Chain A
Amino acid sequence: MRELSLQVLDLVRNSIEAGATQVALAITEDFTADRLTIEIRDNGRGMNSEECRRALDPFVTSNQTRKAGVGLGLPLVDMYTRQCGGCLSLESSPGKGTTVKAVYQHSHLDRPPLGSMTETVKAIIIGNPKLDFRYSHTVGQRTFCVTTYELTGILGDIPLTHPDVLIWITDYLSGHFNYLYGGGPGENH
């Protein structure tokens, strides 16, 4: 899974498996500090410190902690961040949700590419229409933010999988990602 956007998809899945109804994903690419930060904050059932420790251990994660909604993604992300001059932090307490924060040196040669965030965000929004999902992405001075709530609010009873809506979502997301990386002006900057 050598693509950060796939790891993100996996971590968001963890949150959902942990019972989260709200997930906020924030990606910040700060060139001045040479840092890429991925933060995922959820309101799932959370973990105590022992569960957190186990969630990061690749040898136990596959079995026991599955119940707590932790896949193999966390140890993987932990490994990548450390290889790239960064670190992973896990903040969680039972009943209070979990915040995962992965920091990488942006310019590090071994840093996995971000990959297609368009596909990841699309998969999350469409595959989990009841999830209160918030995505924000900052690249230097430019920011893009979208929430499931905003889209479903406009659509009313029209499903996100309506064919015309699917086309709109794809264009909307890819257009804004272009904007983030230097394309024309966006609408929420």
Chain B
Amino acid sequence: MKTIEDLKRLREQVQSDTRLRYTTGTKIIIGMGTCGIAAGAREVMSAVLDEIAKRHLQDVTVTQTGCIGMCEKEVLLDVVRPGEDRITYGKVTPELVPQIIAEHVVNGRILEELVVGKFSE
């Protein structure tokens, strides 16, 4: 079983590892109001975290937000790449997550057909 000691060792390793693979500085924000959670926001978040781990993406932050007032479009997931518009995807399922990460987060190509909103930050 993984222990706190393992985390301490991990910190040493990460600190000595200077090979950053992707430095995207991208933010991913997931709507976790009541209906977001009911619609599967937690599973979407898990899928995002799995994908970050699998692709070894560094410097991506994942945060939660509460009710955004678009219940019928839940699960809502926003991607904000540095210096670009904030893109809101709607009706996101865990199955769509790998595609969003590969296309948008890594390659900067917005998946237009899933977009429900665009905001300039």
A residues with CB within 8 A of B: 1, 6, 9-10, 13, 16-17, 66, 69, 71-73, 119-120, 122-123, 126-128, 150-151, 154-156, 158-159, 161-168, 170-172, 175-176, 178-179, 183-184, 186-187
The reply to whether A13 and B30 form a contact with Cβ atoms under 8 Å apart is no
**With an 8 A cutoff between CB atoms, is B106 at the interface?**
no
Question: Chain B residues with Cβ under 8 A from A6's Cβ?
Answer: 37-38, 42
Chain B binding site: helix, strand, loop or mixed by DSSP?
Answer: helix
The reply to whether A17 and B66 form a contact with Cβ atoms under 8 Å apart is yes
CA distance in complex: A69, B67 (Å) = 10
The reply to whether A167 and B38 form a contact with Cβ atoms under 8 Å apart is no
The reply to whether B11 and A156 form a contact with Cβ atoms under 8 Å apart is yes
Known: A13-B33, A66-B67. A154 touches B53 (CB 8 A): no
The reply to whether B42 and A9 form a contact with Cβ atoms under 8 Å apart is yes
The reply to whether B3 and A172 form a contact with Cβ atoms under 8 Å apart is yes
CA distance in complex: A167, B54 (Å) = 9
Question: Chain A residues with Cβ under 8 A from B66's Cβ?
Answer: 13, 16-17, 69, 71
Question: Chain A residues with Cβ under 8 A from B97's Cβ?
Answer: none
- With an 8 Å Cβ cutoff, the count of chain B residues facing the other chain is 40
Chain A binding site: helix, strand, loop or mixed by DSSP?
Answer: helix
Known: A6-B42, A128-B64. A163 touches B57 (CB 8 A): yes
B26–chain A nearest beta-carbon distance, Å: 11
Question: Chain A residues with Cβ under 8 A from B8's Cβ?
Answer: 154
Out of B37, B54, B63, name the residue touching A9 (CB < 8 Å).
Answer: B37
Pair count A-B, CB < 8 A? 117
**With an 8 A cutoff between CB atoms, is B118 at the interface?**
no
The reply to whether A162 and B58 form a contact with Cβ atoms under 8 Å apart is yes
A72–chain B nearest beta-carbon distance, Å: 4
CA distance in complex: A3, B66 (Å) = 19
Among all A-B residue pairs, the 6 with the closest Cβ atoms: A175-B1, A127-B64, A71-B34, A171-B2, A172-B2, A72-B34
CA distance in complex: A159, B8 (Å) = 14
Question: Chain A residues with Cβ under 8 A from B15's Cβ?
Answer: 158
The reply to whether A168 and B56 form a contact with Cβ atoms under 8 Å apart is no
Out of B3, B11, B60, B67, name the residue touching A71 (CB < 8 Å).
Answer: B67
Of the candidates A73, A161, A175, the one having the most CB atoms from chain B within 10 angstroms of its own CB is A161
The reply to whether A187 and B4 form a contact with Cβ atoms under 8 Å apart is yes
Question: Chain B residues with Cβ under 8 A from A158's Cβ?
Answer: 11, 14-15
Task: Give per-residue flags for B27-48: 1 if the beta carbon is below 8 A from chain A beta carbons, else 0.
Answer: 0001011110110001101100
Q: Identify the closest chain B residue to A173 (Cβ).
A: B2
CA distance in complex: A74, B57 (Å) = 37
CA distance in complex: A10, B32 (Å) = 8
